[in-house]
């Protein structure tokens, strides 16, 4: 295809990925694009990984610090982690090789609220940013950058970095132009002002990214697909969870606590979240909107079914089939989707103002409704908190969902005490498993425990949990949130020792 670098001065900076990667030094901090497998640079990180491997083969240390939007793809996190090239990674990871190194203790990982990354970078809390490596879908004649399939922290990396390397990816659809809304009104306190977004479909910024052309040191042209994973078709468990949730929404509308078109939905990633979205197709709710982090397959189906009016997010997270489908039907989707910087898509001020319905996955919850979204057995990281905290604390109603058991029943997702806490009980209003739904609003801790044990726990674990709670009520040091500290984590200890939480 022909070049998408329409600015003559910038076209002179086109070079190979290897030449661009040669500008990166050991010790550099890199701000890269990428959010849930879309819009990440695909050539320079691979070339950098080759350089790092060659340096290590000669016995020369070579490490970089890598900041992104959220998760990326195997050509970035996978390749750099495999080369043992990452000293510190933030703010989110779902790459299996990087996860392995983090859990082995050979790679530092800082797991952050995604809305806080850009502000913290501006505040100087994260240190200096040396180089931005950003995928875009084109450069306009005036030098403005047309974003790609995710926005993430790109605006901030372009602003903050000393030098900029661009990857212009010809694979990205040219019709992406105009779908983005890049807000330049953020400022540091004491000059911060309200963000002027009052409806999910408001456009408050510009369609392109600004970048000082003097800072651009290299442009690499690529033609590579995003590597999004297919979703599993919803199984019986996911369908049951979706069913309980839809029943809850119908009930809330009937009670007058939710409007008939609901409120802007936020949906986490994963198969269950996707099943819930699919369930909304056959629901009575119309004219819905989404104010969320990622646009996934289920939202595309809702848009096409006319149930969802529009969706605002920071990235696409689509199966390869759906990505192709969108590419073929851009005329329909162009004005129904808005991609924003993640500090805006996940902004607490906006989530609270719009009244988002937050729906996120969990790893485990305890009988009081504290939620662990990140750590297995209290110490092994799975992914990260992502945007779940941004939405959960500020939502109109905050919902967490999970199968009641994991690993074929060797693990109960509801435990006496969470082995790690990401979302405190105050940020968790509803918990749903395939067993049922626990509406925790307005309940004191002891009442929460009763409802969670009765409605959410798998039958194989229900008696044991009930027994623990009954004994805690008799022997606990205090009665506000009864607990037996010597026993509270014994289910986890048993799993670590025997591979099964069951006695």
Residues between 118 and 147 with contacts to ligand 0RQ, criterion CB under 6 A: none
Q: Which of 38, 149, 150, 373 binds ligand 0RQ (CB under 6 A)?
A: 373
Least separation in angstroms between CB 425 and ligand 0RQ:
17
Structure tokens at 143: 């030098």
- Length of the chain counted residue by residue: 503
Binding mask 199-228 for ligand 0RQ (x = CB under 6 A): ------------------------------
Q: Is 395 exposed, middle or buried (0-12, 13-18, 19+ CB in 10 A)?
A: buried
Q: Does 73 bind ligand 0RQ (CB under 6 A)?
A: no
- Residue of 38, 360, 404, 433 interacting with ligand 0RQ (CB under 6 A): 360
Is 293 among the residues known to form the active site? Answer: yes
Give the residues across from 66 on adjacent strands: 30, 89
- Please tell me whether residue 341 binds ligand 0RQ under the rule CB under 6 A: no
Q: What angle do CA 328, 2, 37 make, to 5 degrees?
A: 50
Say whether residue 406 binds ligand 0RQ (CB under 6 A). Answer: yes
Is residue 376 involved in binding ligand 0RQ (CB under 6 A)? yes
Q: Whose Cβ is closer to ligand 0RQ: residue 68's or residue 360's?
A: 360
Is there binding between residue 358 and ligand 0RQ (CB under 6 A)?
A: no
Distance CA 428, CA 474 (A): 26
Q: Does 293 bind ligand 0RQ (CB under 6 A)?
A: yes
Peptide bond into 91 cis (omega under 30): yes
The candidate with the shortest Cα–Cα distance to 138, out of 128, 148, 129, is 148
Q: How far is CA 493 from the centre of its chain?
A: 30
Determine, following the binding rule CB under 6 A, whether residue 239 of this chain makes contact with ligand 0RQ: no
Looking at the DSSP bridge assignments, the partners of residue 465 are: none
CB of 35 to ligand 0RQ, least distance (A): 7
Choosing from 135, 293, 343, 434, the catalytic residue is 293
CA 26-32-33 angle, 5° bins: 165
Min separation Cβ 272 and ligand 0RQ, Å:
5
Backbone angles phi, psi at 438, to 5 degrees: -110, 115
CA distance 456 to 133: 45
Q: Work out which of 153, 342, 345, 388 binds ligand 0RQ, going by CB under 6 A.
A: 388
Residue 294 in contact with ligand 0RQ, rule: CB under 6 A: yes
Interaction between residue 270 and ligand 0RQ (CB under 6 A): yes
Of 468, 492, 461, 462, whose CA–CA distance to 482 is shortest? Answer: 468
Query: What region does 413 belong to: left with phi over 0, alpha with psi -120 to 50, or beta?
Result: alpha
Of 208 and 289, the one with the shorter C-beta distance to ligand 0RQ is: 289
Q: Which residues are catalytic?
A: 293
Residues within the interface to ligand 0RQ (CB under 6 A): 36, 70, 268-272, 293-294, 360-364, 373, 376, 382-383, 385-388, 403, 406-407, 411, 413
């Amino acid at each position: 295809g022909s070049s998408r670098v329409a600015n003559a001065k910038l076209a002179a900076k086109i070079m190979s990925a290897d030449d661009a990667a040669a500008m990166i030094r050991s010790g550099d901090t890199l701000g890269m694009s990428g959010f849930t497998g879309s819009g990440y640079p695909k050539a320079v990180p691979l070339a950098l990984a080759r350089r790092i491997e060659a340096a290590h083969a000669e016995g020369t240390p070579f490490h970089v610090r890598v900041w992104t939007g959220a998760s990326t793809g195997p050509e970035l996190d996978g390749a750099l982690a495999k080369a043992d090239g990452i000293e510190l990674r933030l703010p989110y990871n779902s790459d299996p090789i990087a996860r392995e190194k983090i859990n082995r203790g050979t790679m530092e990982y800082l797991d952050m609220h995604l809305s806080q990354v850009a502000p913290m970078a501006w505040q100087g809390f994260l240190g200096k940013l040396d180089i931005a490596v950003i995928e875009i879908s084109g450069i306009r004649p005036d030098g403005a950058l047309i974003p790609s399939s995710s926005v993430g922290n790109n605006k901030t990396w372009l602003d903050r970095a000393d030098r900029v390397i661009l990857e212009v990816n010809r694979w990205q659809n040219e019709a992406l132009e105009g779908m983005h809304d890049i807000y330049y009104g953020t400022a540091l306190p004491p000059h911060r002002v309200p963000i002027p977004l009052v409806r999910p479909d408001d456009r408050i910024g510009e369609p392109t990214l600004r970048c000082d052309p003097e800072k651009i040191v290299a442009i690499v042209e690529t033609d590579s697909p995003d590597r999004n994973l297919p979703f599993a078709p919803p199984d019986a468990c996911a369908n049951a969870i979706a069913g309980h949730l839809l029943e809850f929404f119908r009930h809330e509308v009937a009670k007058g606590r939710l409007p008939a078109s609901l409120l802007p939905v936020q949906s986490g990633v994963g198969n269950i979240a996707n099943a819930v979205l699919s369930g909304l197709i056959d629901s009575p709710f119309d004219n819905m909107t989404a104010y969320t982090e990622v646009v996934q397959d289920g939202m595309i189906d809702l848009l096409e079914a006319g149930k969802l009016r529009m969706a605002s997010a920071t990235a696409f997270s689509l199966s390869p089939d759906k990505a192709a489908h969108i590419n073929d039907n851009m005329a329909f989707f162009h004005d129904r989707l808005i991609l924003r910087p993640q500090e805006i898509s996940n902004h607490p001020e906006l989530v609270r103002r719009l009244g988002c319905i937050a729906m996120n996955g969990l790893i485990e919850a305890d009988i009081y409704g504290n939620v662990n979204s990140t750590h297995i057995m209290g110490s092994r990281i799975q992914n990260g908190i992502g945007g779940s905290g941004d939405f959960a604390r500020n939502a109109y109603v905050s919902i967490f969902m999970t199968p009641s058991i994991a690993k074929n029943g060797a693990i109960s997702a509801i435990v006496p005490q969470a082995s790690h806490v990401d979302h405190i009980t105050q940020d968790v209003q509803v918990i749903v498993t395939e067993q049922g739904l626990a509406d925790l609003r307005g309940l004191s801790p002891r009442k929460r425990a009763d409802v969670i044990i009765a409605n959410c726990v798998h039958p194989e674990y229900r008696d044991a949990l009930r027994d623990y709670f009954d004994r805690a009520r008799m022997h606990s040091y205090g009665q506000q949130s009864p607990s037996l500290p010597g026993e509270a984590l014994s289910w986890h200890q048993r799993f670590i020792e025997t591979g099964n939480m069951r006695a």
